[in-house]
Structure 1
Amino acid sequence: MINTKKALTALDEEKIQKLMRILPKSRNKDPLAAAKNIMGNKYPLPPFGVIRYPKGILWNEDKSRSFLRLIHGHTFLGCLTDAYEETKEEQYKDKAIGLVKDWIQKNPYPNGSNEMAFHDETTAMRLQYWLRLYILAKDKLASSDEQLILENMAKTANLLSQDDFHSTNTNHGMFQDISLLAYAMYFEEADDESDRYRDIALKRLVDYFTYVYTEEGVHKEHSPSYHFLVSNYLNKLVVWLKDLSPNHAKFFVDLFKKTEKYATYIIRPDGLFPPLCDTESKPVVNSSYRSLYKSEEFLYAVHQGKAGRMPAEKDAVFKDSGYAIFRSGWERKEKETYVLFSAAYHTSYHKHSDDLNMHIYSNGDIITEAGPNGYNYKDKFTKYAYSSFGHNTLIVDGRGLPRVDHQHEKVYIKDYQLTEDYSEATGVNERYSGVTHTRNVRYNKQLEHITVRDQVASEDTHQYKLFWHVAADLEVHVRDQIVELFRNNNKVAELEITSTTDVNIRAVREQTVPYVQGWVFPKMEAKKPATVLELDFSSGKESVEVVTEFRLANYKIAARDQGPFELESHYQSMNGVKYHFVPAADEKLQDKLVIVFSALANKYHYVYN
């Protein structure tokens, strides 16, 4: 418990400012405007917009976990404390204290008013916001208010120190320990438990960072934004601990340096995060991570070549971490091709059932995935988003893999090869009982072809599905074993599926029964329709191979579904070339027959008639 008769802090002003830099601020771009809204009981809570609470915040309302995390984490205090720090107007401090008092009154430990009131990460977040409020406003607080917030911060720190409340080896546990460490550092003279709290927090943090990064410096949770988030806090600890705990600082410095290569190569050619697992596809340059690393190569990736220096290598494979990233190059910025293949299962947090998943970007999304829909695990669309059905992977007998089953060693990259002309990697998934799925991804950079070779082996008869999630803005046309993809009348890619068994190809969109399929989540809790290709096939006791060849292109065709030659008018020649008849766009050719043919394979060079 805090002893107010002792000095509340022995830290000098410089150290307090270093501590303040690790404490959270406003999540809004204009904190002062957001704070003014809060004064009128309108709460800007990105990404949920402005929420009105005319009679006070409803702590016990029935909303998603993602939303309640922000409310019970007191993220709105960031706006009020920023506004108070900037203007010194006491109305912002008074509003903040009033909200804290209301929460304390209506959320007694251990149950609170809602399951998120004492959620592990939410509790840690709340303590950080309270601590920042206290540091900024302590000299202006009424005695009773000061005593109340000190008492509840001490209770929260004690709760965070307890092993049975700690979320070990997760980023939630990291937040708990950073909060506990911040509290211990600030109240090192006033709380007799501060030394114990500091030692607990530092040991846990070293253990966590040692555990959560692979030897290649990649965060194990297989969600790129969390690599940036955790590495960002790792960097903050470096700055903070250089003076406060030099012995620990060196460990954090060395580890942080190793995290940069993955952070550079995972960024897409358009500067966005790939929508992998719990990562939303957003521009890195608009995030707080845009200056996380100072190297010229990282700046080049973030700013799409407008700053920094081009990385020397096109490709990067993190074999033990489970990532293969292939590029056509860097010079053409967002027009380059980017192939992402993931094959690993290290931890249970933030990873989806996406084993042997892959993405293709080429001057725009080609093959993507459903993306994240938040953390309301009762919602059928959230279940779909993290299930095997929401990714480019294998389904066996109508069932996907559970998100968590702790079979970490059964998903891995087996081999890879990088050359100037082509790059390839092979991944293996053995999580299905009695079934082995092996996927080889080969990117031919000269032809702009990506060949995916799926081999499925089992000693029993099974029904299988393979999914290809097509970007939401692409039109999809299935022509027997050929699938054409168009964006704004431009043909951007063609798929050809061949197999050692019969494969039925079906395009699915906006489906909700018998299972959810054909949706994408551009941001959490916001869905839109997208087409998914389902490849259905079966096998007996023999193995089966399905080959999907993606041939990238950019052909302009005339407006479809017009004139005598409509979209469905397709003919196939003896040599397998597909001919597509459309009305000519050029007026000079209106009385001529124009043939646009799908002859993207290397062996098709000429058409004779």
Structure 2
Amino acid sequence: MSAVLNTLKADPRLLALAAPYCNMTPVELLAYFHCRRQIRYFSVIDEEQNTPEKLDGILRNRFEFNHQPYQLDGAFDWLSNPCADVEWLILLHKFYYAVGLGRRFQQTDDTRYRDKWQALTRSWFDNVPVDFLSSDVTGRRVQNWIFAYRYFVSAAAEPLIDAEFHLDFLASLQQQVAYLCDNLTPARNHRTLELYAIFLAAVVFPELRGADEWLSFSIRELQRNLQTDLLPDGVHCELSTDYHHIVLRNFLGIRRLAMLNNIELPADMDETIKKALSFCLHAHKPDGFIPAISDGDSANFLDLLRQGHELYDDPAMLYVATAGQQGQAPTECSKTFASSGYSILRSGWGDQDDAYQDERYLFFDCAPLGAGNHGHLDLLNIEVAAYGRSLIVDPGRYTYDESGDTNWRVLFRRTGYHNTVQVDGKNQTLYAPHIRKYKIQGPEPAREFKCALHRPGFDYLHGIAASHEYPVIHERKILFIAGQYWLICDLLRAEQAHDYELRFHLDALAEHRTTTSVNSAGLWVDSPNLVILQAPQLDTRLTLESGFISPSYGVKHPAPVVNFSAHAANYCFLTVLFPYQSTPPEFTLEQLPVSQNGQAVGSTSASALRLHNQQARGEYYDELFLAHRAGAGYEFADLNTESAFLFRRLDREGRILAWHSADKS
């Protein structure tokens, strides 16, 4: 015992290790950790942060994060930020580049990558307090340090690093994990990644002091986090498509790590993870990317479905992960996630007449703002994709930074930067300056997801928003017709007149390639692969605005914005969104008169349209009807109906080709 105490007094770094490892010399420890084979784990690398150009820049102390490069000197100050955006400093301290340096060293045997990893890591633990920045930064750094360690030690042919540095590394890692256990973020996605870091450290380094306690603690808390942070439909409670997948990636990493090392996890974890994977499967657009709903990027997370297939042997996950090349198509084309308020409409999975990437897709957001502070003011927002590309897009987040002449954070978050109706130029929720930043200060709108109906060849959605910022009720109804096109009905109700602006943000490819026209045939918008059309109304004005979309943090591209506007009390916008592959469709649209008890009614009571398509999949006439007020039956064309909606397709001889109504009559 006295020998052990003397050893620890002589080298306090050994306090980070449990017995008998605390009795080893630095050289013996390095040899032991290199040779052990009982621990199995994997590295996860962020490819965007680890391009060859970025890694070679880091060798010269040139760091680029969020598309902002800075040349630092050899003894730079870790505590100072050369950039106005704090996210730059956060990425510096998260050490994503450590994993890239490790992989490059493994691939090339170039010792510059090893030496840079050692120099940066040593500089960090020699100069940075363990509590610098938030706990989630510590959690991500711990993960990346362990992932990098695998390349330099665990999977290396020879442990070609300094033994003294190795012991310092273990001591710092132990200190950071112990700090995490005592300083966890209270809830949600940051807490999940911090718990994953603790679990990862406990599994990969059981020799560290406290590792047994870390393992039991992290498993217990991860189960609780999974139960509290994922809604009953499997969608993450922050209601950001990007953060949902980041959290899912963490849980899949935990599940895979447990399986590799025969660690038992609570049985209900698997069922919850499968629900989260279901949202992942349906949320991905046919081009393989997710829409950037609320804070986040339009990223590709199909690798998570591959992992899900490996864990749960689900052929539908493999099918979507491979864009229909392997596995089996999902049984549901369209799906509503009722707890979150999200709905995805899809024409198919590429297993019938169309190629996988050509299928039509619409994402509908009837969700609350969500937990945390990532929600955008976008109730009843949509995103549309077809024929291999996005057509109407959620512009994304662009930045969290509010400095500069233009507050881009506020701009991208506001209602006018989404595909919904803005009233009187206001946001749906009070969003105003608070101390140094803007903050959501008012109650979010009352909402109701009134109906989600999915049938082969027909879908119907109905959501309602009632903002506390203005006395207007906004109802949005969406009809998806034969997997070909959508009718978007936006009904506004108020006692006094207001300014209504219905916007559709187009993709960057539509910049300088979009035209508008207003004539007796309607209000037309022609853009690549998409026609937008409204039947003529005297009070509707059509303009094309300048805007931006942001596919990833720190990047924005000019993109046109379609604006249909009107000044009225009660009003109804009826918009056809008709995607096409190569040749614009030749169709006409007319508004049909509707009556009730022999008296004509306006479009805010009931709406009816006839669309005549003379191209595409044969000539046909589509009659579309929506009732906006309950009561006696309505008459239009040759029909009398009490249904909330009706769709009838006729051929040129008047024969019925398809029929759908609320009562299935």
- Coarse TM-score class (shorter-chain normalised): 0.7 to 0.9
Letter in 1 for 2:541: N
In structure 2, which of residues 290, 302, 317 is the aligned counterpart of residue 298 of structure 1?
317
Q: Distance in 2 between matches of 1:574 and 1:261?
A: 39
Q: Distance in 1 between matches of 2:325 and 2:149?
A: 42
Within 5 A, what are the aligned runs for 1:182-197? 182-191=200-209, 193-197=210-214
- Structure 1 pair 396–574 and aligned structure 2 pair: CA distance change class (3 A): closer
Root mean square deviation of aligned Cα: 4.0
Letter in 1 for 2:552: K
The residue number in structure 1 matching 2:482 is 445
In structure 1, which of residues 422, 429, 433 is the aligned counterpart of residue 458 of structure 2?
422
> What TM-score comes out, normalization by structure 2 length?
0.71
In structure 2, which of residues 367, 377, 401 is the aligned counterpart of residue 344 of structure 1?
367
Q: Does 2:290 align with 1:261?
A: no
In structure 2, which of residues 388, 397, 422 is the aligned counterpart of residue 372 of structure 1?
397
In structure 2, which of residues 44, 47, 50 is the aligned counterpart of residue 27 of structure 1?
47
Q: Distance in 2 between matches of 1:574 and 1:243?
A: 62
The residue number in structure 1 matching 2:565 is 536
**In 1, are the aligned partners of 2:466 and 2:473 still within 8 Å (CA)?**
yes
Offset, 1:99 = 0.8
The residue number in structure 2 matching 1:591 is none
The residue number in structure 1 matching 2:187 is 169
The residue number in structure 2 matching 1:566 is none
The residue number in structure 2 matching 1:160 is 180
Deviation digits for residues 198-245 of structure 1 (CA, Å, limit 9, x no counterpart): 343223211211122222222333333333332222222122224767
**In 1, are the aligned partners of 2:281 and 2:320 still within 8 Å (CA)?**
yes
**In 2, are the aligned partners of 1:472 and 1:529 still within 8 Å (CA)?**
yes
The residue number in structure 1 matching 2:16 is 2
**In 1, are the aligned partners of 2:463 and 2:477 still within 8 Å (CA)?**
yes
Q: Partner of 1:301: helix, strand, or coil?
A: helix
Q: Does 2:333 align with 1:314?
A: yes
Q: Does 2:426 align with 1:390?
A: no
Flag structure 1 segments of 5+ consecutive residues without an equivalent.
113-117, 510-517, 558-571, 577-595
Q: Distance in 1 between matches of 2:396 and 2:320?
A: 22
In structure 2, which of residues 217, 220, 226 is the aligned counterpart of residue 200 of structure 1?
217
- Structure 1 pair 49–137 and aligned structure 2 pair: CA distance change class (3 A): farther
- Structure 1 pair 497–303 and aligned structure 2 pair: CA distance change class (3 A): farther
Offset, 1:453 = 1.9
Offset, 1:95 = 2.0
Q: Does 2:543 align with 1:506?
A: yes
The residue number in structure 2 matching 1:214 is 231
Q: Distance in 2 between matches of 1:250 and 1:66?
A: 37
- Structure 1 pair 399–235 and aligned structure 2 pair: CA distance change class (3 A): same
Q: Distance in 2 between matches of 1:88 and 1:471?
A: 43
Q: Partner of 2:379: helix, strand, or coil?
A: coil
In structure 1, which of residues 464, 467, 471 is the aligned counterpart of residue 503 of structure 2?
467
For this pair of structures, how many residues does the alignment match? 546
Within 5 A, what are the aligned runs for 1:587-602? 602=622
- Structure 1 pair 245–497 and aligned structure 2 pair: CA distance change class (3 A): farther
- Structure 1 pair 480–358 and aligned structure 2 pair: CA distance change class (3 A): farther
Offset, 1:431 = 4.3
Q: Distance in 1 between matches of 2:235 and 2:173?
A: 34
Q: Partner of 1:275: helix, strand, or coil?
A: coil
**In 1, are the aligned partners of 2:200 and 2:254 still within 8 Å (CA)?**
no
Letter in 1 for 2:378: D
Letter in 2 for 1:2: A
- Structure 1 pair 123–439 and aligned structure 2 pair: CA distance change class (3 A): same
Offset, 1:479 = 1.1
What is the identity percentage for the equivalent residue pairs of Structure 1 and Structure 2?
19
> What TM-score comes out, normalization by structure 1 length?
0.77
Q: Distance in 2 between matches of 1:132 and 1:366?
A: 38
Q: Distance in 2 between matches of 1:484 and 1:98?
A: 61
The residue number in structure 2 matching 1:98 is 119
**In 2, are the aligned partners of 1:521 and 1:527 still within 8 Å (CA)?**
yes
**In 2, are the aligned partners of 1:235 and 1:253 still within 8 Å (CA)?**
no
Deviation digits for residues 302-329 of structure 1 (CA, Å, limit 9, x no counterpart): 3332333222332112222212211222
Q: Partner of 1:339: helix, strand, or coil?
A: strand
In structure 2, which of residues 139, 145, 149 is the aligned counterpart of residue 130 of structure 1?
145
- Structure 1 pair 217–65 and aligned structure 2 pair: CA distance change class (3 A): same
Q: Distance in 1 between matches of 2:418 and 2:482?
A: 25
Offset, 1:147 = 4.8
Offset, 1:77 = 0.9
Q: Partner of 1:443: helix, strand, or coil?
A: strand
